[in-house]
Amino acid sequence: MFIQAFRLAPSHPSSEAAPGGNSGGESATLDVILKDIREMKKLVTTVSTLIEDIKSIKVELIHLKESCEYNSSSLKYFQDQVSSLERGVSQIEKIQNSLAVANKENKGHPPKTQ
């Protein structure tokens, strides 16, 4: 639409214009061109803002990915620590049970004297 209107408009005012100023057709065509230019300006402004927003989102996604990787690594470390503690607790419980059994057996028998 812009190109069509631009082709219809004269490149500069000349004697081709009707006496007494521009004709109504030329004025309407210039208004259309001006409107199209303003709309294009808005689009260009919007596009540059969108590009900056997309760049910002990309950076934030990189940080989010790094954070997730770190948290995943930390979680694995803590899972390993908990597993190790559980094994230790299990061993302590076995020792406690063995001691309890030994204490019961010793209560039934008087201590040996030498």
In tens, the pLDDT along 55-71 reads 999 999 999 999 999 99
Q: For residue 111, tell me if it sits in a domain.
A: no
Note whether 5 and 36 are within 8 A (CB).
yes
Domain limits for position 35: 2-11+20-104
Q: For residue 109, tell me if it sits in a domain.
A: no
Backbone angles phi, psi at 110, to 5 degrees: -70, 155
Q: For residue 112, tell me if it sits in a domain.
A: no
Q: For residue 48, tell me if it sits in a domain.
A: yes
Note whether 32 and 53 are within 8 A (CB).
no
Q: For residue 25, tell me if it sits in a domain.
A: yes
Q: For residue 114, tell me if it sits in a domain.
A: no
Q: What pLDDT sits at residue 6?
A: 46
pTM over 0.75: no
pLDDT at 18 over 90: no
Q: H or E segment at 24?
A: helix 24-108
Highest mean pLDDT among 40-44, 84-88, 106-110: 84-88
* Higher per-residue pLDDT: 49 or 27: 49
Q: For residue 110, tell me if it sits in a domain.
A: no
Place of tokens 């001006």: 34
Domain total in the chain: 1
Q: Given pLDDT bands bounded at 50, 70 and 90, which one contains residue 109?
A: low
Coil, helix or strand at residue 3: helix
